[in-house]
Amino acid sequence: MTDLNWDAEFTDHFTRSARSMRFTAYLLCGNWSEAEDVVQAAFLKLYLAGPRVARREGLDAYLRRIVVRTFITERRRVRWRRERLVEEPPELPEAGPSSEVRIVLWQALGSVPPRQRAVLVLRYWHDLTLEGTAAVLGCSVGTVKSQGNRGLAALRRRLGPGFDELRMEVHRGAGG
């Protein structure tokens, strides 16, 4: 395949999947600007990898793997820098019927370590199997299980016992 063909195929794939990939990155990062940086880096890696490497596992799967790994790498780097500059305060989901629960949960998700958060996003947003999640993260199935359990435990710890009551109240309010 020539460079021109690959450019055309890449552009076509970008048009189809850029927004959904950026949303995945948003779930991982928690803010749009960082998500955009991660996705841009991921698409650049995809372009440089070329069609042969990218098609080995499918463009979407390959791109998702790059997004997740770029996010984890960036977070590791940020941790070493010990500071993180953001333009705006953390973004919150739009208001809705049960927005309070979502806001609390979304904020709690920000405290989950990157690798565990990646497992939660891949398992509960992309509905990947344990094996699929392990392939994306480049680890064993056992690691995915333990990371997922730890992520959920961290979330519950962060939310505290009052979260279930809050959810019940919200549901009651929406219903009544």
Partner 1 sequence: MREDDLRDVFGALHAANDPDLGFGATDVVRAGHRVRRRRRTAAAVGSGLATVAAAVVAVVLLPAERAPAPADPADVVLTTTSTAPPPAVEPVPSSPAPAIGVPGTGSVRDGFPAVENSPDGTPPPGASENPPRADPH
Q: Which residues sit at the interface with partner 1, rule CB under 8 A? A: 7, 10-11, 14-15, 18-19, 22-23, 26-27, 32, 36, 40, 43-44, 47-48, 93-94, 96, 98, 101-102, 105-106, 109, 120-121, 124-125, 152, 155-156, 159, 163-164, 167
- CB nearer to partner 1: pick between 79 and 86: 86
Min CB(125)–partner 1 separation in Å: 4
- Smallest CA-to-CA distance from 111 within 77, 153, 74 is with 153
Q: How far is the CB of 120 from partner 1 (least distance, A)?
A: 6
CB 21 within 8 A of CB 67: yes
Minimum CB distance to partner 1, residue 82 (Å): 27
Comparing CB distances to partner 1, the nearer of 18 and 61 is: 18
- Residues whose CB falls within 8 Å of the CB of residue 22, separated by 6 or more in sequence, listed in order: 32, 35, 36, 39
| Backbone conformation region of residue 58, classed left if phi is above 0, alpha if psi is from -120 to 50, else beta | left
Nearest of 33, 158, 155, 23 to residue 91 by alpha carbon = 33
Structure tokens at 139: 């680890």
What is the smallest separation between the CB atom of 58 and partner 1, expressed in angstroms? Answer: 19
In terms of CB distance, is 7 or 169 closer to partner 1?
Answer: 7
Nearer to partner 1, 83 or 88 (CB): 88
